[in-house]
């Protein structure tokens, strides 16, 4: 079991290296380079100056050498420097990642748990109105653009019925005391999390319903009934665990998609996350930051995938392999 | 209708006039019509019939597990130890299931929950019906695995179903069903999905358990070979009716009902006459009736070589004495012939 | 004694699947028609496509043209109001059908082509080829799609082709995995082995034997992929990462972002257009899913 985890982590590192290589190739493909950016910021320059700066960045060396240098830098945490923000890319990532992570994780957890619960309840009464609503609303979850939904929700809940704050992750000025600060952050995260979660919740509840219906017809449920177990035990001990597995699998595969959704939601709600960071740097052609965000996003996804794999292994003994 | 089966102090289960109906496409269909039989202590009753004759539905009815939106038990009594299971409350039935009467099914590969250990599932039965602590129940589970001849039970008890072979899983099912010492064990085609060699082992195991504990076994199968191996008495079913009952020897040697005779004849035998090898297997012409159309009279009549005009009326169940009975008008003539003799 | 010969109808508990393709397809279409929601979605989509094709003919106008004062409410000058520059929302939506659908369909074709090719080759040949292709697929899966697409569009000039390329490159992995799984399953079936036994070459096997049998889930995947592509394109143009000469619904939402608090119509209507279009596609996809389901066919 331990060797499997190690192998997985090792494989993850290989993927990270591949991402770095991709970053490098993309930078090479981009028109203009760091030097042009610097010179533009500085207000123009002459070829001699450009050549000096190039040399200092090692940009006059052959490509493979540049690649190795780049790899070395990235993997040791030197992700470059942003002239616009006047900060290292690494610290920019570190300061912007938490907001995105909080949003992604809360939306993920809510969508999976609530979705499974709702789907299970719908499966127990397959012909009820609730059940049909779930089937129908899953389509809306698929068809609604998340950024548009965010704006509509903002319109309703922040403007017309002002319950929740509209923008940012905390109020200005920040409240005193840790507890109040935490509450404040949660308050600001309610609408964005809801926006992001509801779309996935719609599809997970439908998936959970179908999965639960499948499981309830299985032979081992019939066996459980012949043992005289109560309906409660049959539903929540025997059926639920089996029914939840496909939902978790799908949700795990969609982590990248949820992350992307978070990027959009952050832009709408002006949260200080990777989304606006990426967007701003694209507008300003701040390549180190752009590549840094891609790198950071990929690393986060890789780590998240490993964790989901672990969780799935714990839940389904068939995957664990025979001891 | 008479109940001709032998009832005695030894009788553990008595089924009288059991009827199960289904609502299919708006119509009421008789899936089981007037099922009658008894089961004695330590006795094996083999219920035999072709697919669709209602044998599995009979088993489900005994457990009160008839799928309830389309189906229901419309009449009859199922008396287990003096208690009518049909009239019992839902709560009472749940206490009886797994404790007084238990069941194993055809598909061992899918009958166990894949995400819980074998030990967990056996201990669950024990703790459901008896006041036993977890550690105690676990230990009993290991003992049960030993009784069903699973090697290294202490190791196996912590394994998951997918780590066991089909034969072993069926043994686990048997262990689970015996955990609370039931009076009756229903085995619905327990070996159909298994190898022939494993089949023999499972039957030996069931016989051993029966000898040790006096459990009554109802063996449901379409395979007369299995019946010959295990059963003391045989019940033949056709199109939802019980049509003949008797001891194994009586049915095998002197079957009365034309269907039973046809069934026995159609089984291939190992013949030592080489010239007969190419003979076509005798078969019963025609097919099983469609239960969606209400059947008037004897359900077997359309295919019966001995059919008479009298067969337009459903035959009575004729008691030929000694637990022997037939649902056929021919039996009436036999009785009259005997009386005249 | 005579035998009562009684001609009884034998009712089969299930219809055996005939091998003729025409009957199979006819049954699929029949199942689809029986699903009211699916038919509703189908008709809805046809209407939308007709609007896209003929709308500009009847409402000949330039979506970029200024027709009146900025931020006028619906009903005053135009049916759906004007945006922050005074452009007509209604015209934008009509013209948006073409651009949105064209981009989405092209991107889908691109995505599906890559996906099916990779999946088919990996699934059919197995072994080292499968391993290598799966590693590549996993690599692409690890990059969050939108982020990756944003980076691609940022690096190269924002151009229609680049947008389609970006969407395609970041989305093909789902179809690849699906195709691979189907091929792995079908490869072992008897009719494939039979075709191989009479000497069919690999290329023929892939294209003429395995692929046609893998079609049902692929058709559904393609249908759903069109819907996803519409939303994907909308997200990119919302962020401003598209061709500046093209007006799509997502772009309309993005441009009016700062004004929608005062002018809800500039954002609501384009969004509804996206929602309704993709909803129709989803209903069709659902209908196809049920129509292909062997457990539901034959009544």
Please write the tens of the pLDDT for every residue from A16-25: 888 888 888 8
Interface test with C, best of B262, B287, B307 (most C CBs within 10 A): B307
Give the minimum alpha-carbon distance from B196 to chain A in angstroms, rounded to a whole number.
Answer: 23
C10 has a pLDDT exceeding 60:
no
Residue B99 touches chain A, beta carbons under 8 Å = yes
Tens digit of pLDDT for each residue in A162-183? 777 777 777 777 777 778 888 8
Q: How far apart are CA B114 and CA A318, in angstroms?
A: 8
Q: How far apart are CA A232 and CA A234, in angstroms?
A: 5
Q: How far apart are CA A26 and CA A9, in angstroms?
A: 26
Give the minimum alpha-carbon distance from C7 to chain B in angstroms, rounded to a whole number.
Answer: 9
First to last CA, chain B: 26
Q: How far apart are CA C271 and CA C260, in angstroms?
A: 12
Using a 10 angstrom Cβ sphere, with 0-12 exposed, 13-18 middle and 19 or more buried, the burial of residue C58 is: exposed
Q: Which residue bears the tokens 């039965």?
A: B125
User: Angle at Cα B65 formed by Cα B63 and Cα B69, nearest 5°?
Assistant: 155
Tens digit of pLDDT for each residue in C191-209? 888 888 887 787 777 777 7
- Determine whether the interchain pair B115/A317 forms a contact, defined as Cβ–Cβ distance below 8 Å: yes
* A149 contact residues in C (CB cutoff 8 A): 271
- Determine whether the interchain pair B160/A318 forms a contact, defined as Cβ–Cβ distance below 8 Å: yes
Q: Quick one: which of B179, B208, B177, B202 has its CA closest to B190?
A: B202
Q: How far apart are CA C211 and CA C230, in angstroms?
A: 26
Mean pLDDT value of segment B211-234: 89
Q: How far apart are CA B87 and CA B80, in angstroms?
A: 12
Cα radius of gyration (chain B): 21
Two tokens at B320? 């030929």
Residue C190 touches chain B, beta carbons under 8 Å = no
Instruction: State what percent of residues in chain C have pLDDT above 90.
Output: 15
Instruction: State what percent of residues in chain A have pLDDT above 90.
Output: 16
Two tokens at C292? 């292909």
Q: What confidence score (pLDDT) does residue A149 get?
A: 92
pTM: 0.81
Q: A31-40, A59-68, A74-83, B242-251: which has the highest mean pLDDT?
A: B242-251
CA atoms within 13 Å, Cβ hemisphere of C175: 29
Residue B314 DSSP one-character state: P
Find the CB nearest C282 among A139, A147, A279: A139
ipTM (interface predicted TM): 0.83
Categorize the per-residue pLDDT at A309 as very low, low, confident or very high, splitting at 50, 70 and 90. Answer: confident
In residues, how long is chain C?
299
Beta-strand relationship, B216-221 and B233-238: unpaired
Categorize the per-residue pLDDT at A303 as very low, low, confident or very high, splitting at 50, 70 and 90. Answer: confident
List A residues 245-284 in contact with C (Cβ-Cβ < 8 A): 256-257, 259-261, 263-264, 267-268, 274, 278-279, 282-283
- Determine whether the interchain pair B110/A219 forms a contact, defined as Cβ–Cβ distance below 8 Å: yes
Q: What confidence score (pLDDT) does residue B172 get?
A: 94
Quick check: B236 and B49 in contact, CB under 8 A? yes
CA B242 to chain centroid? 12
Q: Which residue of chain B is at minimal alpha-carbon distance from A314?
A: B115
Two tokens at C251? 């772009």
CA C206 to chain centroid? 24
Q: What confidence score (pLDDT) does residue B1 get?
A: 35
User: Angle at Cα C16 formed by Cα C12 and Cα C20, nearest 5°?
Assistant: 145
- Determine whether the interchain pair A228/B98 forms a contact, defined as Cβ–Cβ distance below 8 Å: yes
Two tokens at B27? 């119509």
Taking each continuous run of H as one helix and of E as one strand, the counts in chain B are 11, 12
Give the minimum alpha-carbon distance from B111 to chain C in angstroms, rounded to a whole number.
Answer: 22
Residue A13 touches chain C, beta carbons under 8 Å = no
Find the CB nearest A143 among C157, C253, C282: C282
Q: What confidence score (pLDDT) does residue C298 get?
A: 54
Q: Quick one: which of C226, C231, C227 has its CA closest to C249?
A: C231
Quick check: A143 and A137 in contact, CB under 8 A? no
Concatenated DSSP letters of B108-166: TTTSS-TTS-HHHHHHHHHHHHS---HHHHHHHHHHHHHHTT-SSHHHHTTS-GGGS-H
Residues B176, B178, B181, B184: is their CA dihedral positive or negative?
positive
- Determine whether the interchain pair B115/A316 forms a contact, defined as Cβ–Cβ distance below 8 Å: yes
Two tokens at B102? 């238990």
Interface test with C, best of A97, A142, A287, A293 (most C CBs within 10 A): A142
Neighbours of chain A (3+ CB pairs under 8 A): B, C
Choice among A22-31, A260-269, B178-187 with the minimum mean pLDDT: A22-31
Concatenated DSSP letters of B249-309: HHHHHS--SHHHHHHHHTS----S-GGGGGPPPP--SS----TTSPPPS-TTGGG-TT--G
């Amino acid at each position: 079991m331990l060797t499997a985890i190690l192998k997985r982590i090792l494989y993850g590192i290989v993927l990270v290296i591949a991402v770095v290589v991709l970053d490098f190739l993309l930078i090479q493909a981009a028109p203009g380079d760091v030097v042009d950016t610097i010179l533009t910021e500085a207000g123009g320059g002459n070829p001699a100056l450009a050549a000096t700066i190039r040399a200092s960045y090692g940009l006059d060396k052959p490509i493979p050498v540049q690649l190795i240098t780049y790899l070395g830098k990235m993997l040791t945490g030197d992700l470059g420097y942003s002239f616009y923000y006047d900060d290292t890319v690494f610290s920019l990532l570190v300061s912007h990642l938490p907001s995105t992570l909080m949003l992604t994780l809360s939306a993920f957890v809510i969508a999976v748990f609530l979705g499974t619960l709702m789907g299970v309840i719908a499966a127990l009464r397959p012909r009820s109105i609730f059940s049909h609503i779930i089937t129908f609303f899953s389509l809306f979850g698929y068809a609604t653009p998340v950024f548009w939904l965010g704006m509509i929700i903002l319109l309703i809940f922040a403007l017309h019925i002002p319950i929740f704050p509209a923008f940012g992750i905390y109020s200005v000025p920040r409240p005193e005391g840790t507890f109040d600060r935490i509450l404040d952050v949660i308050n600001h995260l309610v609408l964005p999390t809801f926006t992001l979660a509801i779309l996935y919740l719609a599809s997970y509840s439908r998936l959970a319903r179908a999965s639960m219906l499948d499981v309830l017809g299985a032979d081992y449920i019939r066996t459980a009934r012949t043992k005289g177990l109560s309906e409660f035990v049959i539903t929540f001990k025997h059926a639920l665990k089996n029914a939840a597995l496909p939902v978790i699998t799908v949700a795990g595969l969609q982590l990248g998609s949820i992350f992307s959704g978070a990027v959009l939601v952050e832009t709408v709600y002006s949260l200080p996350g990777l989304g606006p960071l990426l967007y701003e740097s694209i507008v300003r052609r701040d390549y180190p930051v752009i590549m840094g965000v891609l790198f950071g996003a990929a690393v986060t996804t890789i780590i998240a995938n490993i964790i989901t794999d672990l969780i799935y292994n714990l839940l389904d003994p068939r995957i664990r392999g025979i001891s | 209708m008479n109940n001709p089966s032998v009832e005695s102090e030894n009788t553990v289960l008595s089924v009288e006039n059991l009827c199960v109906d289904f609502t299919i496409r708006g119509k009421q269909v008789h899936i089981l019509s007037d099922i009658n039989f008894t089961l004695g202590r330590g006795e094996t009753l083999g219920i035999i019939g072709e697919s669709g004759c209602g044998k599995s539905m009979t088993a489900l009815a005994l457990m009160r597990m008839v799928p309830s939106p389309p189906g229901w038990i419309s009449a009859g009594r199922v008396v287990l130890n003096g208690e009518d299971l049909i009239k019992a409350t839902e709560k009472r039935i749940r206490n009886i299931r797994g404790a007084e009467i238990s069941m194993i099914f055809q598909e061992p590969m899918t009958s166990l929950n894949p995400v819980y250990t074998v030990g967990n599932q056996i201990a669950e039965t024990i703790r459901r019906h008896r006041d036993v602590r977890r550690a105690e129940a676990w230990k009993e589970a290991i003992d049960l695995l030993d009784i069903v001849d699973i090697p290294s039970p202490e190791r196996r008890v912590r394994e998951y179903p997918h780590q066991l072979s089909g034969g072993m899983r069926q043994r686990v099912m048997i262990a689970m069903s015996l955990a609370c010492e039931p009076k009756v064990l229903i085995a619905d085609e327990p070996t159909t999905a298994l190898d022939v060699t494993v089949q023999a082992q499972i039957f030996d195991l069931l016989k051993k358990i029966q000898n040790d504990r006096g459990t009554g076994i109802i063996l449901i199968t379409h395979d007369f070979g299995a019946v010959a191996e295990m059963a003391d008495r045989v019940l033949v079913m056709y199109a939802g009716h019980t049509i003949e009952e008797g001891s194994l020897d009586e049915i095998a040697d002197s079957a009365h009902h034309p269907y039973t005779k046809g069934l026995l004849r159609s089984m291939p035998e190992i013949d030592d006459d080489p010239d007969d090898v190419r003979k076509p297997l005798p078969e019963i012409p025609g097919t099983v009736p469609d239960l969606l159309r209400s059947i008037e009279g004897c359900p077997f009549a359309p295919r019966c070589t001995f059919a008479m005009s009298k067969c337009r009326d459903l035959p009575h169940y004729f008691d030929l004495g000694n637990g022997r009975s037939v649902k056929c008008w021919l039996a009436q003539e036999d009785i009259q012939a005997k009386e005249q003799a | 004694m005579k035998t009562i010969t009684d001609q009884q109808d034998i009712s089969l508990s299930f219809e055996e699947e005939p091998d003729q393709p025409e009957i199979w397809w006819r049954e699929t279409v029949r199942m689809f028609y029986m699903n009211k929601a699916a038919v509703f979605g189908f008709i809805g989509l046809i209407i939308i496509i007709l609007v896209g094709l003929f709308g500009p003919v009847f409402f000949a106008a330039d979506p970029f043209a200024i027709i009146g004062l900025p931020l006028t409410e619906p009903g005053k000058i135009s049916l759906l109001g004007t945006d922050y520059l005074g452009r007509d929302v209604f015209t934008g939506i009509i013209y948006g059908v073409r651009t949105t659908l064209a981009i989405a369909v092209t991107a889908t074709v691109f995505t599906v082509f890559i996906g099916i090719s990779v999946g088919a080759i990996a699934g059919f040949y197995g072994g080292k080829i499968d391993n290598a292709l799966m590693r590549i697929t996993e690599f692409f899966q690890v990059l969050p799609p939108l982020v990756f697409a944003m980076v691609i569009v940022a690096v190269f000039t924002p151009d229609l082709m680049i947008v389609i390329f970006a969407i395609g490159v970041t989305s093909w992995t789902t179809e690849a995995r699906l195709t691979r799984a189907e091929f792995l399953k079908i490869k072992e079936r008897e009719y494939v082995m039979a075709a191989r036994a009479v000497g069919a070459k690999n290329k023929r096997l892939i294209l003429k034997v395995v692929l046609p049998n893998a079609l049902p889930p692929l058709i559904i995947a393609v249908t759903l992929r069109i819907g996803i592509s519409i939303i994907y394109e909308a997200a990119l143009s919302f962020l401003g990462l598209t061709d500046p000469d093209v007006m799509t619904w997502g772009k309309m939402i993005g441009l009016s972002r700062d004004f929608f608090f005062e002018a809800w119509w500039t954002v609501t209507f384009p969004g509804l257009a996206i929602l309704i279009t993709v909803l129709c596609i989803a209903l069709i996809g659902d209908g196809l899913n049920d129509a292909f389901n062997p457990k539901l066919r034959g009544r």
